[in-house]
Amino acid sequence: MGDLGYIAPEIILLIGALFIFCLDVAYDPGVGRKSGLSYMALSALFLTAALVAAVLQLNISDPEAGPKVAFSMMTIDNFGSFIKVTIFSGMILTTIAGGRYMNRRSGNQGEFWTFFLMVSLAMSIAVSANNLVLVYLAIEFLSITSYMLAGFLRENRRSNEAGLKYFLYGSIASAVMLYGISLLYGATGSLYLHEIAAAFTEIIGDSREISGLAFAGLPAMLLILAGLGFKASLAPFYQWAPDTYDGSPTPVATYLSTASKAAAFAVLARFFIVAMASFEVNWVPVLAAFSIITMSMGNLAALRQSSVKRMIAYSSVAQAGYILMGLVAVTSSSPSAMDGLNGVLLYLFAYLFTNVGAFLVVMALEETVDSTHISAYRGLIKRAPWLAVMFTIFLLSLTGIPLTGGFFGKFYVFGAAIQRQYFWLAAIGMINAGIAAFYYLRVVREMFFTHEGEGEALDVPMALQTSLLICTVATVWIGVYPSAVLDWVSTASVQLLSVVP
Amino acid sequence: MESLDSIVLTILLFWPLVSALLVILLGKSDSQIKKGSIWASLLPLGLSIYLLFAYDSAAGGMQFEQFAEWIPQLNAGYHIGVDGLSIPLLFLTALLSTLSLYYSAGVINERVKEYFFLMHLLEFSMLGVFLALDYVLFYVFWEISLVPMYFLIGIWGGENRGYAATKFFIYTLVGSVAMLLAILGVYFATGTFDIVEAAAAKPFAGNLTLASLAFWGFFLGFAFKVPSFPFHTWLPDAHTEAPTAGSVILAGVLLKLGAYGMLRIMLPSFPEASVYWATWLVGLGAIAIVYGAFVCVAQTDLKRLIAYSSVSHMGYVMLGIGAAAAVMTPEGLASAVNRFGLTPQAIQDSAAMALNGAALQMFNHGIITGALFFLVGIIYERAHTRDLSRFGGLATKTPHFYGLMLTAAFASLGLPGLAGFWAELFTFRGAFAIMPYWAAFGTIGIVITAVYILYRIIQNVFLGEYDPAKLTHWTTVQGEHADGPTDMVGFEKVTMWPLIAAMFLIGIYPTPLVSYFNKSARELLAFVQNLI
């Protein structure tokens, strides 16, 4: 098998996407509920197969085994595999829950699920790529398929707006990133991350002074950060996010704010830690500034939203700020238990289940009462008690209350910041946690604190309930007993940090 | 008993959680849930009484300790244990929880299942805070105690409940996150999350800046909970809007968590910072005593008045803790000795006395204010108002109620023979030897306390001529129409009498209770002195 075996998850996804595409072309039974759901089931199946392949690649038992290189352009390491597991889990949960939602709203089911698998494939390639051209191609692939998915509801103007906005911002971000890549190539003569790192180490040397061609490294770093920051919805590149999340079909918004974000952070981490190691003193303050702006802007904007979907959209911008805090505090020199990279990975993992869950609740309300407005949640405890309880768990997890995964995520990124003695960064994070609690609690307040709200019990689809239950169990499990996840996280981050010279 | 002793704390801790789950899973009818909950809550109460007797006072220190691995990657474990400070507080928690459940069974008829579920969950989290000897565990329980209380205020509270609940949650959360940062700081300084080990490892010894940062991080977390002036503004809202049992638990136990944290964590872990900032603690405490008392005089709402009296009374606790904090290091001790020419032994005794006073005040305040909030609830169920100007002359109409209120109110103002007296005496006597000016300033509060207790409560509500025109709409506790105020009924008396009895008991013979606290206070002083 050799190299082909290393990229098994990607191959499975590619086959899956083409299979569904061909099936869709070959059999066109007209618009039918049944066909839509079977495409959904097929794509869930292929995603699960890819998940299994990624789990098998995760070398927990044998930490000595080093990273493998496939076709010289992809590094298959525990870091990438862990992120893949995270991404695929999110995509599977979204797929299962989103089947009926998409089926009701659009006729082209085969097309939708084909793109859905393509998106997963793109993310999967992006997180393993060790060559900047492949990074660029994967990100472009991800963007283009995402534009189509965001604007998939062609008759819906909001969906069109979402797709168009994402496309316009996205193409500029990609162009900017490409320019950054070309600068790096000019300065170092290579597109491979480790060769770039080696070239910079040679130029800069031990003196730690930036001179000559190394000057190109700084603008290149900022330009690439802008391109990836767009994907991760970092401020000030986040303006597309609320409109796109709000307007796109909810399954699309779900993965855009979770899996896609995880992929962007993985690429960002790999790029900065591997290629830009020599510039650590320079990128730390830059990322710290981005982190502060991102969480503050996201939280302040979320405060004023009256649509729950939009509120979660802004809140996921703010969450990106916390995750970035972990990246700021990466200690490449001496990895410790509470390293920033561990924080990033744990946060991404916990956040994935929490935020997917939150979006699924929004989807459930859209499905049943066709509204995302906060007033639709009034007295939800009476109409759908379990839905209200699960949403509360997700919101508490996003707030960072213990016994939920979100707590340990925050615990780790704050811990990493304290360890590096970035007290001011941690303090700003602390103030933000207080602000965020306010708008998360507003929804809880609507759901529980009213004595009215006797109404018909909501009829939430079975598949959606299953996905929600998995998200809830995962969120609470990480919060109560994080030990197992921490093991995966540390094997993943140790391998990435070990390549740093 | 050997085998019981090895797991008694785990049973005590997790039984309320089991009860909560049973309520959700098995609860069918309201009456069954209520009965089951009350019976279930007797087990933790029994175990906490067992601990009072089983604790070996002669040996002292942490006993009944248990340890299990939890997050080995971080060196954080499930470590619980009790000492002389936590045992009486566990008893207080279990007692007030049982009484609250019992009282609530009589007055809560809406969303019963959720209510009793949350009450059990609340007891679980409070017991957890008093038991935890690991920072992560401590923080987990500390934070989750917010959630049930938030819902209790928000669902069963008064008119303005949403606002009050959110304010309560956010204020405490901000304080807690500050504490989390300090916990992380201690972890990186000492490499352990174990509270006892970390204190012994002297975090930030010799680095006053970092020690002060951590000290204030913890202080913010605890001060919001106590609540210390000027972090108290959430308290009147939360208390006023909360349902009766919620107020009782909030005032009786939740406020104690903050003071407990100061004694358990701040003083032993940061002796140098404690000495440096002791004047601030004492000052904030004394200001709270006086300020809280003055604000009480101005209140027109009976429940709000009691709420502000908590600010004032928790000031005593801060005063006692702050005074002891000033002599945590030999340098602090020496400077106190130089100031007044007392012997080091006398200063140490005063510090122990201040600590005893603070701990005793924690316990007594739980009993007394718990009783006062029950009594406010009892009158509110009948009058449906708490407006002081609408009451008057109730003494003749409701003699039993009057008698109990009189006892609790006098205990609150520190009448000798009742519980409150000893705590005030010890606190002021101890603080006076170390920080005389602030202690003297604080005594103004005692006088003002007499004003609002005697004038605002006793005279306004009970004395004088009963005027039916003041308040025309009265009901019985069951909500049926009544022609005038009716006296307490059976379940209300059963709720109240244990608390009243405790006030007399501690007031007449405080020695057994003080001996628990004294053991811990002496240990704390010795521990810190040896550390340096």
What residue ranges do the domains of chain A occupy? 3-498
**Does the structure show a pLDDT above 70 at B495?**
yes
Torsion (CA) B36, B37, B43, B49 in degrees, nearest 10: -140
Q: Are B406 and B457 in contact (CB under 8 A)?
A: no
**Does the structure show a pLDDT above 90 at B49?**
yes
By CB atoms closer than 10 A (0-12, 13-18, 19+), residue A260 is buried
3-state secondary structure of B475: strand
By CB atoms closer than 10 A (0-12, 13-18, 19+), residue B200 is middle
- C-alpha to C-alpha distance for B70 and A312, rounded to whole angstroms: 32
Q: What is the pLDDT of residue A30?
A: 56
Using alpha carbons, select from A310, A333, A314, A342 the residue that is nearest to residue A415: A342
Q: What is the pLDDT of residue B1?
A: 55
Structure tokens at B409: 């109110």
Residue A212 gets which letter from DSSP? G
- C-alpha to C-alpha distance for A286 and A280, rounded to whole angstroms: 10
Q: What is the pLDDT of residue A499?
A: 64
* Closest residue of chain B to A439, computed from CA coordinates: B166
Tens digits of residue pLDDT in A62-75: 656 677 888 888 88
Q: What is the pLDDT of residue B181?
A: 92
| Chain B contact for A423 (CB, 8 A cutoff) | yes
3-state secondary structure of B76: strand
Helices (H), B55-134: 86-107, 112-131
3-state secondary structure of B327: coil
Q: Are B25 and B113 in contact (CB under 8 A)?
A: no
Chain B neighbors of A492, CB-CB under 8 A = none
Q: How confident is the model at residue B418 (pLDDT cuts 50, 70, 90)?
A: very high
Q: Are A136 and A176 in contact (CB under 8 A)?
A: no
Contact A401 B188 (CB under 8 A): no
Structure tokens at A2: 């050799």
Tens digits of residue pLDDT in A456-474: 778 888 889 999 999 999 9
Contact A433 B170 (CB under 8 A): no
Which residues, 6 or more positions from A270, have their beta carbon under 8 angstroms from its beta carbon? A79, A80, A127, A130, A193, A496
Q: What is the pLDDT of residue A35?
A: 63
| Chain B contact for A490 (CB, 8 A cutoff) | yes
% chain A with pLDDT above 70: 93
What is chain A's mean pLDDT, rounded?
87
**Does the structure show a pLDDT above 60 at A18?**
yes
**Does the structure show a pLDDT above 80 at A498?**
no
Contact A418 B184 (CB under 8 A): yes
Tens digits of residue pLDDT in A214-242: 788 889 999 999 999 998 888 888 888 88
Using alpha carbons, select from A137, A8, A141 the residue that is nearest to residue A68: A8
Contact B174 A401 (CB under 8 A): no
Mutation site for A-interface testing, chosen from B74, B156, B207 by largest number of A Cβ within 10 Å: B74
Nearest chain B Cα distance for residue A433, angstroms: 7
Q: What is the pLDDT of residue A61?
A: 60
Which residues, 6 or more positions from B163, have their beta carbon under 8 angstroms from its beta carbon? B237, B241
Helices (H), B27-84: 30-54
What are the DSSP E strand ranges found in B228-357? none
Contact B154 A423 (CB under 8 A): no
Which residues, 6 or more positions from A204, have their beta carbon under 8 angstroms from its beta carbon? A210, A211, A214, A278
Tens digits of residue pLDDT in A386-407: 999 999 999 999 999 999 999 9
**Does the structure show a pLDDT above 70 at A453?**
no
Nearest chain B Cα distance for residue A418, angstroms: 6
Across A102-120, average pLDDT = 87
Contact B213 A423 (CB under 8 A): yes
Contact B143 A401 (CB under 8 A): yes
| CA-based radius of gyration for chain A | 22
Using alpha carbons, select from B236, B474, B464, B431 the residue that is nearest to residue B317: B431
The residue to which tokens 């009948």 are assigned: B382
| Chain B contact for A415 (CB, 8 A cutoff) | yes
Helix (H) or strand (E) holding B481: strand B481-482
% chain B with pLDDT above 70: 99
Q: What is the pLDDT of residue B339?
A: 80
Q: How many helices (H) and strands (E) does chain A have?
A: 21, 2
What is chain B's mean pLDDT, rounded?
90
Using alpha carbons, select from B133, B135, B143, B115 the residue that is nearest to residue B27: B115
- C-alpha to C-alpha distance for A97 and A119, rounded to whole angstroms: 17
Across B489-505, average pLDDT = 92
By CB atoms closer than 10 A (0-12, 13-18, 19+), residue A189 is exposed
Q: What is the pLDDT of residue A408?
A: 92
- Which sign does the torsion angle of CA B459, B464, B469, B474 carry? positive
Contact B110 A451 (CB under 8 A): yes
Tens digits of residue pLDDT in B455-476: 888 988 888 888 888 888 888 8
Chain B neighbors of A399, CB-CB under 8 A = 173
| Chain B contact for A438 (CB, 8 A cutoff) | yes
Using alpha carbons, select from B511, B503, B303 the residue that is nearest to residue B415: B503
Structure tokens at B347: 């200063």
Q: What is the pLDDT of residue A62?
A: 64
- CA distances to A350, A474, B71 from B74, in Å: 18, 21, 6
By CB atoms closer than 10 A (0-12, 13-18, 19+), residue B530 is exposed
Tens digits of residue pLDDT in A155-191: 888 888 999 989 988 899 999 999 999 999 988 888 9
| Amino acid, res. A315 | S
By CB atoms closer than 10 A (0-12, 13-18, 19+), residue A375 is exposed
Contact B184 A434 (CB under 8 A): no
Contact A423 B165 (CB under 8 A): no
Q: What is the pLDDT of residue B531?
A: 64
CA angle A147, A153, A154 (to 5 degrees): 90
**Does the structure show a pLDDT above 80 at A501?**
no
Q: What is the pLDDT of residue B215?
A: 93
| Chain B contact for A431 (CB, 8 A cutoff) | yes
| Chain B contact for A414 (CB, 8 A cutoff) | yes
Q: What is the pLDDT of residue A63?
A: 59
Chain B neighbors of A481, CB-CB under 8 A = 70
- C-alpha to C-alpha distance for A432 and A435, rounded to whole angstroms: 5
Chain A neighbors of B74, CB-CB under 8 A = 337-338, 486
**Does the structure show a pLDDT above 70 at A31?**
no
Cα atoms in the 13 Å half-sphere on the side-chain side of B372: 31
Helix (H) or strand (E) holding A119: helix A109-128
Chain A neighbors of B114, CB-CB under 8 A = 381
CB atoms within 10 A of CB A120: 33
Q: What is the pLDDT of residue B216?
A: 93
Residue B460 gets which letter from DSSP? I
Q: What is the pLDDT of residue B60?
A: 80
Tens digits of residue pLDDT in B374-391: 999 999 988 888 888 888
Which residues, 6 or more positions from A324, have their beta carbon under 8 angstroms from its beta carbon? A232, A234, A265, A287, A290, A291, A294
- C-alpha to C-alpha distance for A118 and A64, rounded to whole angstroms: 33
| Chain B contact for A411 (CB, 8 A cutoff) | yes
Which residues, 6 or more positions from B133, have their beta carbon under 8 angstroms from its beta carbon? B62, B65, B79, B80, B81, B194, B195, B196
Beta bridge partners of B72: none
- C-alpha to C-alpha distance for A387 and A393, rounded to whole angstroms: 10
Mutation site for B-interface testing, chosen from A430, A451, A452 by largest number of B Cβ within 10 Å: A430
Tens digits of residue pLDDT in B148-190: 999 999 999 888 888 999 999 999 999 999 999 999 999 988 8
Mutation site for A-interface testing, chosen from B171, B179, B181, B187 by largest number of A Cβ within 10 Å: B181
Q: What is the pLDDT of residue A413?
A: 92
- C-alpha to C-alpha distance for A13 and A261, rounded to whole angstroms: 19
**Does the structure show a pLDDT above 90 at A76?**
no
**Does the structure show a pLDDT above 80 at A29?**
no
